[in-house]
Every structure is written in structure tokens, then in C-alpha cells.
Structure 1
Amino acid sequence: MSGFAARLAPEVTTLALCWRIVRADGVALGFTTHDRDLVVAGLRHASAPGMLPSAISSGDGLEVDTMEVAGALSAGSITAGDLGSGRYDGASVKVFMVDWAALEAGTLPLARGTLGEVARAASGAGGSFTAELRGPTAAFDALCIEVYSPECRAELGDRRCRVDLAPLTMRAAAIAQDGARLTVGGAGADLDRFAQGRCRAISGDNAGIDARIVSGGAGWIELFEPLPFAVAAGTRLELREGCDKRFATCSGRFANALNFRGEPHVPGGDLLTRFEIG
């Protein structure tokens, strides 16, 4: 910090802002306000698409710290298709300062968090976008209290469920697409066991995008919504079986009743409406 304080003292400085974005699929991108690319910590930080941050402020309270980043859509970095498909949803971001004349001096961290709402500007605005960066204190906005429910509150395969997902996950290939319905081969004849599961494309334009499976049948699966890009025949898919979160399914299908995270025998709100007319 003291080294950067000395670099801020002159009337003319050689400082630049940088930010590193890491998407959920592991892709890392770097950008800088400098007029040329900078290589920081082994990652090239591009001077395009000219991203500009809003004022950065932080405090010692529990208020949610947010800032905005504005930029231009570029085919070589951030594209309209990637934004629309949700590839940047929840991506981690680090904002820091560097001395572009002495990169060996290290970095000065300024802010970190995750990308919140990402919005594209109107078509007449030159293909630009704005993104909200939510700081670590944004986690305090989440409700952490669980309520009683007859269905399980865990997700299949998480640390509370503990079901091994390896035998429940398999590879398949897309044969045809009809909206949100995909005809697939290589995963067996009856695919109803994948209902409430997940489908992840591992090739093609949708590579890395994960979608929820609503239902399945004889050689087909129905997604909650169509994948953002057209699914070509031969696209490789990773299918993971799902769970309807009922106790009978947990016990009978997965033999996992000990880890069931629900209250199947607690009376529901409809108990008060049950009566007989004698």
C-alpha cells in the first residue's frame, strides 16, 4: 500500500485499473483501462472493450457494497451471445490497480465480488452493456433459515445428500432438437430417470452451459427452457439423473433415507381443511 501511495503523489502517474473475471465454467478474462494490453499474474488484461468502472467505495459496515462496470461488446472478448446465455451470471470479479510502468511492483486490491445483473443497452447505443458488481456483503441479503417441508431441502449429490453422482452421470449425443426437447442417443431407451436432473453441453456453441431437465421419455429429454444456441446433431451432452425430493424416492431409489432433509410426516397446512360431514 505504501508503494502505491508514493506512486499517487506525482501530478502525472502511471497507474491503471484492471479487473479479472472468472466465469463459472472456469474461463478467465482480464481487462484494463490502460491504452495497451498488460500481462498481470500470467493473464493478459486487454485494453478493449474499454470497460469503465463507476466510483469504488467501501465501508466497515454491513451495507451491501456495489459498483457498476460499463463496456462495449466485442467479438474477441465479451459477446452479446455469451451475455444472453448466462455465461457471466455469478462470475467472480477482482478489481485492482497496477503501475503499468513497473508491473513487478505488484497490485493494489480495490474491490472483489460477483457479477449481479448484466444488462445490454439498446441496439442504438453501439452494442454496449452494464454489469453490477456485488461485494462480499451481498451474501447478508440471502435468507439462511430453512422451513419445514415434506420435500427434501438438499440437492441430489451435495454434501448433505451424499449420494454419489458418478454412476448417475453419463454421456450422450444430441440427435435432433425441437425447441426445449432434445432427442438423444447413447443414454439408454427410457430417460425418465433424468427428470429434475441436469443437462450440460460439452461441445458445440452451448459448451459449458447447464440446463435443468423437466422430464424424459423414450429417447428424449425436455429442458426447462431451450439452450441459448441451436443444438447441432452430434453435440455431446452430459446428463445427470434427478430426484423429485420425495421420501419414497430417496428411500426406494437411492437407499438414502438417513440423509433425507425433509419432514414427510409433519402435517401440512391442509390439515385444518380436512373434515367429514356426518
Structure 2
Amino acid sequence: MRALPAELADRLESGAAGLCHAWILTRADGMVLGFTDHDRDLVVEGVACRAASGWTAGAAETAAGFSPGLAAAVGGFDDAALSEADLAAGLYDGARVECRVADASAPGLSVLLWTASVASAKAEGGGFTLALEGPLAALDRVAGRTFGRSCDAAFGDLRCGVDVGAFPGATCDKRWATCREVFGNGLNFRGFPTAPGEDFLTLYPSDGERNDGGRR
């Protein structure tokens, strides 16, 4: 449950409050911009929030669930606020977005709804679209390497090291045998070919077999 300022709670109770949304965007370089869906500019949390921005509550409200990759904010370009040139330069990548609900007649009274960061930004249709991700998005990212028998490098990248030009039309199935025998690239194999698989639980030594751990 969100804690409301006592004065805002009183105004809501009396019906005197007129609520609107305000978005405060802080870029990585420290520049702060404000936007609102009210019909006039407001100052919220000390930030001038422009009414003529094109931002709407419905466009960004899906971010309240903190679902990574699903939320978006849209608006129109304004050279005095968010310009297409700055967007193209990547100045909004990673920016922090804070959404607040404020009393339009007393914008100093506001409550934080959610925070998010800009995962990507692009220009389209004469305006912009910011893809937002909530705080839980960090839990959705893969960290480290995959421990498995198959190679986890992309065919031909720096970790792989294979000159794809020398093998026109070739593809790689990520297997140790393919890397070693087809491409002669065993030294750069980025998997663990001797890692035990699920069948390891059912294996047992048999007479007449070579049980020195050297099989791959």
C-alpha cells in the first residue's frame, strides 16, 4: 500500500483534488525532463512538467506491473523537451522514468506510482516510443555462461574464432565433434563436452569396455 501525504489524502476525501499523471525522466547525463497529461504545465517534485508533450497515462500505465519488455511510453517530439536528434544519439537509453500521480490544483502533493528504466528508444510516425522495463527486469537477464556439452559461442564471432569466409554456406551444430573435425577449431570450443548428461545416473562399468574417462 502506498502512503499518501496527509494533505493529499484529505483533499481526496473532500473531493477537492483533481488528479493527473506526471512523468519525470532523468537521463544518464543528469538532464531531467518532466511531462504531464494535464492541460497545463505543472511543477512536480521541483521539475517543470510540460503539458504539450503527447505523453498519456494509458501509454505507460502497463509499466505498473513491472513486466520486463512489455511497457511503453509514447509521445510527440518537442525540441524544447525531447528531440529526435537526442533520441537518435542514444541520450535516452538507460534513462530513469518516474511516474507520479499529482493533485493538479496543488502539484506539490504527489505520490509515486512506479519507476522504470528505458530499455530502448526509437522514432516512429513523427513521435517516439520508449520501451520501459521495471526493477524486476534485472532478474530476467542471463548472467554468466551456460554449463553444457554444446558450445555457447555464436558461429564466427570472436569467441568462436572460425573464419566463416573459409567455409561458405556452412553452419555449426555446436557439437564438439563438429568443431574439431569439420572446422579444426577444437581449441576454441566453448562448451564442456565431457560434462555428464542425464544418462549419467544410469551408467555403470561393464566388462571389456575402456573405462578411463577419455570418451567424448
TM-score interval, smaller chain: 0.5 to 0.7
What's the offset of the Cα at 1:145? 1.8
1:8/1:134 CA distance change after superposition, 3 Å? farther
1:129/1:10 CA distance change after superposition, 3 Å? farther
1:119 aligns with 2:122: yes
What's the offset of the Cα at 1:269? 2.5
Contact 1:56 1:110 in 2 (8 A): no
Q: Which residue of 1 aligns with 2:143?
A: 144
> How large is the RMSD of aligned CA atoms in angstroms?
3.1
Matches within 5 A, 1:1-278: 1-2=3-4, 3=6, 4=8, 7=11, 13-53=17-57, 54=59, 55-56=61-62, 58=64, 63-64=67-68, 66-104=70-108, 106-122=109-125, 127-146=126-145, 268-269=188-189
Query: C-alpha distance in 2, partners of 1:117/1:10?
Result: 42
1:11/1:111 CA distance change after superposition, 3 Å? same
Contact 1:66 1:135 in 2 (8 A): no
Query: C-alpha distance in 1, partners of 2:121/2:13?
Result: 36
Unmatched 5+ residue regions in structure 2? 148-186, 191-216
- The amino acid that maps onto 1:121 is E
After superposing on structure 2, the runs of 4+ consecutive aligned residues of structure 1 that deviate more than 4 Å are 2-13
1:112/1:66 CA distance change after superposition, 3 Å? farther
Q: Which residue of 2 aligns with 1:191?
A: none
What's the offset of the Cα at 1:57? 6.0
**SS at 1:116 equivalent:** strand
- The amino acid that maps onto 1:33 is D
Contact 1:95 1:112 in 2 (8 A): yes
Contact 1:57 1:65 in 2 (8 A): no
Query: C-alpha distance in 2, partners of 1:107/1:12?
Result: 14
1:73/1:58 CA distance change after superposition, 3 Å? closer
Q: Greater helix percent: which structure? A: 2
Query: C-alpha distance in 2, partners of 1:74/1:63?
Result: 28
Q: TM-score normalised to the size of structure 1?
A: 0.46
Q: Greater strand percent: which structure? A: 1
Q: Taking CA–CA contacts closer than 8 Å with sequence separation of 6 or more, which of the two structures ends up with the larger relative contact order?
A: 2
1:51/1:58 CA distance change after superposition, 3 Å? closer
1:56/1:89 CA distance change after superposition, 3 Å? same
Contact 1:56 1:111 in 2 (8 A): no
Could you report, residue by residue, the CA deviation over 1:120-141 in whole angstroms, capped at 9, with x for unpaired residues?
A: 223xxxx212212211011112
What's the offset of the Cα at 1:117? 2.4
- The amino acid that maps onto 1:110 is L
Identity of aligned residues (%): 31
Unmatched 5+ residue regions in structure 1? 149-266, 271-278
